[in-house]
Amino acid sequence: MGAPRVLPRLDAENRFFWTGGADGKLRLMRCQECATFIHPPRPVCRKCLSEKVAPAEVAGTGTVDTFTINYQEWRPGLDVPYVIARVAIDGAPGVYLTTNIVGCPVEAVQIGDAVQVKFERQGEIYLPLFEKID
Amino acid sequence: MPANEAYITGVGQSEVGVKLTRLPLLLTLDAVREALSEAGLTIGQIDGVSTYPGRMAMMPGFSPVGADELIDALGIRATWHAGAMETSSQLGAVVAAAMAVRIGQARHVICFRTVYEAAALARPTEYPPLRRETVDGYSQWFAPFNAISAANWTAQYAMRHVKRFGLTREQLAQIALTDRANAVLNPRALVRKPLTMDEYLSARMISTPLCLYDCDRFTDASTVLIVSAGGAIGEVSCTPIRIAAMAGTVERHSWDQAEWMACYPTGTDLWKRTDYKPTDVDTAQLYDGFSFQALAWLEALGFCGVGEGGQFIEGGKRIALNGELPLNTFGGQIGAGRLHGFGFAHEAVVQLRGRGGARQIPGDPRVAVCASGGGPLATALLLARD
């Protein structure tokens, strides 16, 4: 995309998520007691209130839960159209990531498509984009 | 009137326009004056102020006037006030006021929503936008992927209806077509020209399946509702409209993470809190910052089943001004301007008082439902003229 992406401000609670892609792994906060995934990451489990939480690797695959093709140039220089999708993450029930589906024509994306993470590096940040699995 | 009930008494609205030069505090004053006049109250009888979301310097024009500022500027002696973003969307400010008068914290509360987004956008030197290179909080989960606008987030809810329930563009169009037809009859509406199906279908896409005409437009205006205690109704000269039930919920407070839209549990809650039924409702004024939200509210409030909204509004007759459930009779936000939630409650009161003029619905309407938000945050109010 032409215009630079707006990037997350890293802090103690989100750093593992946004920098985890350096070794190609998607990581989500997970409760060590009841195994629930917690996203956005917080220092407490939203299911059992345990504070024993830690980042855990997931497979990095998922399913397109829903999507939209954006045509509006919200900022000068934004390359349109592009696909915004909400991806349900395999192995992490209830966790969705808003992302872009890349590497295919925008018309090719459908609900239910199997997708796989493809990180886009922006300095120390690795944005988890997704592409379709053929 | 029962002392433990809350009523909407005076309602008022400023001029509605784009790129207005009258200052936002003065637009608010215009709406306050109209509401006081209708209620037969003086500013000295006002002892509470409630607004959404309170003054926000971060987003120029989004909320240029706060509760504190209005209290100070108009010399109000407030025994209770609130202005908070962390509530169940815009009409959460009315819910708060209703609770305040019911438990005796105030007698007459000015609830207001002032927007100045068109003026701020047009005059960036006067209202400089905040430049952001990094984001935190909830924004970090969608802004980096250029999912920048609420249009993108709402579009994804709408797309599920398209794929799962077969919602068509022709069906969805009925929200915008109805809004624009009604706006023609509202002297204060922003867009007073009807929209045809052909124009709708050939409009440019914003974020599929939402096109240009599915979106509201930045507007400059202020809307005021006075919420009065049952025990203070004797001081009021207009017909009081009782707040018969109210409900407000938060999903996961992020468009990004919400499992589904907050309007659905809100609608269910509303009917648990009243003996009225959806069939008792004479008119519905439902949030349509994006057309799909109004469709979702129709389902959420039980006027049709989940997934049946498209069929319910197909052809537009049912929701037209003379239909069985007149919808957004002032033009909604798509036709009347982005009054941001308060316009729906304002219109519900106008219709229940029979003061709609050319857009007044037929018969003798006694019950109206109005709603704001719908995505991660949602509020619904059931209003009745007893």
Sequence spans of domains, chain B: 6-122+218-235
Q: Which of B220, B232, B222 is nearest to B97 (CA)?
A: B232
Query: Does A31 contact B at CB distance below 8 Å?
Result: no
Q: Which of B133, B136, B146 to mutate to test the interface with A (most CBs of A within 10 A)?
A: B146
Contact flag A68-B138 (C-beta cutoff 8 Å): no
Strand partners, A79: none
Contact flag A70-B259 (C-beta cutoff 8 Å): no
pLDDT at B256 > cutoff 80: no
Domain ranges for chain A, please list them. Answer: 15-132
Q: Which residues of A touch B157 (CB under 8 A)?
A: 66
What is the pLDDT averaged over residues B234-251? 96
Q: Which of B17, B98, B13, B7 is nearest to B338 (CA)?
A: B17
Are the beta carbons of B243 and B100 closer than 8 angstroms? Answer: no
Contact flag B155-A68 (C-beta cutoff 8 Å): yes
* Averaged confidence pLDDT in chain B: 96
Query: Å from A100 to nearest chain B CA?
Result: 6
Q: What is the pLDDT of residues A20-60, one digit of tens each?
A: 999 999 999 999 999 999 999 999 999 999 999 999 999 99
Which pLDDT score, from 0 to 100, does residue B60 have? 87
Contact flag B157-A66 (C-beta cutoff 8 Å): yes
Which CA distances in Å does B304 have to B75, B270, B330?
47, 15, 22
Are the beta carbons of B182 and B294 closer than 8 angstroms? Answer: no
DSSP secondary structure string, A79-100?
A: ---EEEEEEEETTSTT-EEEEE
Contact flag B135-A7 (C-beta cutoff 8 Å): yes
Identify how many contiguous H helices and E strands chain A contains and give both numbers.
1, 9
The phi and psi torsions of B190 (rounded to 5 degrees) equal -70, -45
Q: Which of A86, A97, A131 to mutate to test the interface with B (most CBs of B within 10 A)?
A: A86
Q: What is the pLDDT of residues B324-366, one digit of tens each?
A: 999 999 999 999 999 999 999 999 999 999 999 999 999 999 9
What is the pLDDT averaged over residues B56-76? 94
Minimum-distance CB partner of A67 among B136, B156, B254: B156
Query: Does A39 contact B at CB distance below 8 Å?
Result: yes
pLDDT at B282 > cutoff 80: yes
Instruction: Say what percent of chain B tops pLDDT 70.
Output: 99
The phi and psi torsions of B26 (rounded to 5 degrees) equal -75, -30
pLDDT at A1 > cutoff 60: no
Residue of A nearest to B164 (CA): A111
ipTM above 0.90, yes or no: yes
pLDDT at B262 > cutoff 90: yes
Q: What is the pLDDT of residues A98-113, one digit of tens each?
A: 999 999 999 999 999 9
Minimum-distance CB partner of A40 among B135, B157, B257: B257
Q: What is the pLDDT of residues B95-153, one digit of tens each?
A: 999 999 999 999 999 999 999 999 999 999 999 887 777 888 888 999 999 998 999 99
Residue of A nearest to B146 (CA): A5
pTM above 0.95, yes or no: yes
Q: Which residues of A touch B158 (CB under 8 A)?
A: 68
Strand partners, B110: B49, B226
Q: Which residues of A touch B254 (CB under 8 A)?
A: 40
Which pLDDT score, from 0 to 100, does residue B235 have? 98
Q: Which CATH number fits domain B6-122+218-235: 3.40.50.880, 3.30.390.10, 3.40.50.720, 3.40.47.10?
A: 3.40.47.10
pLDDT at B57 > cutoff 90: no
Query: Does A104 contact B at CB distance below 8 Å?
Result: no
Whole-angstrom distance, CA of residue B303 vs CA of residue B295: 10
Query: Å from B204 to nearest chain A CA?
Result: 8
